[in-house]
């Protein structure tokens, strides 16, 4: 299964390392990652668009990401099955 999510995080130097470590430890493979920094006088942080793939339930990952102290929000965007191509044996 391929999953797409958006994370909103605080502007911490090692937040990306923590997100990637949790993703790897939970058995998910990162397909793509897009990071954008934003800021206002009250709050500065990152918006991270993350696409991951795994046969494991996505709840195994999201439940751990929300526990990270610098992750403010995790939003699951879509779920889709990754199609495996039909292979003809000759």
The more confident residue out of 86 and 51 is 51
60 membership: H or E segment, kind and range: helix 59-65
Q: Cα(1)–Cα(66) distance, rounded to whole angstroms?
A: 21
Tell whether 14 is covered by a domain: yes
Which of helix, strand or coil describes residue 34?
strand
Tell whether 83 is covered by a domain: no
Closest CA to 26 of 59, 70, 74: 59
pTM as predicted = 0.79
User: How confident is the model over 35-75, as pLDDT tens digits?
Assistant: 999 988 778 899 999 999 999 999 999 999 999 999 999 99
Beta strands in 1-86 (DSSP E): 2-10, 29-39, 44-53, 71-80
Tell whether 87 is covered by a domain: no
Tell whether 62 is covered by a domain: yes
Domain that holds residue 62: 2-77
């Amino acid at each position: 299964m391929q999953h797409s999510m958006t994370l909103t995080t605080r502007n911490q130097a090692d937040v990306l390392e923590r997100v990637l470590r949790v993703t790897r430890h939970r058995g998910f493979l990162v397909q793509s990652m897009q990071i954008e920094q934003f800021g206002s006088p009250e709050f500065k942080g990152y918006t991270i668009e993350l696409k991951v793939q795994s046969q494991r339930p996505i709840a195994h990952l999201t439940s751990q990401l929300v526990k990270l102290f610098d992750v403010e929000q995790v939003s699951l965007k879509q779920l889709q099955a990754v199609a495996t191509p039909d292979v003809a044996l000759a």
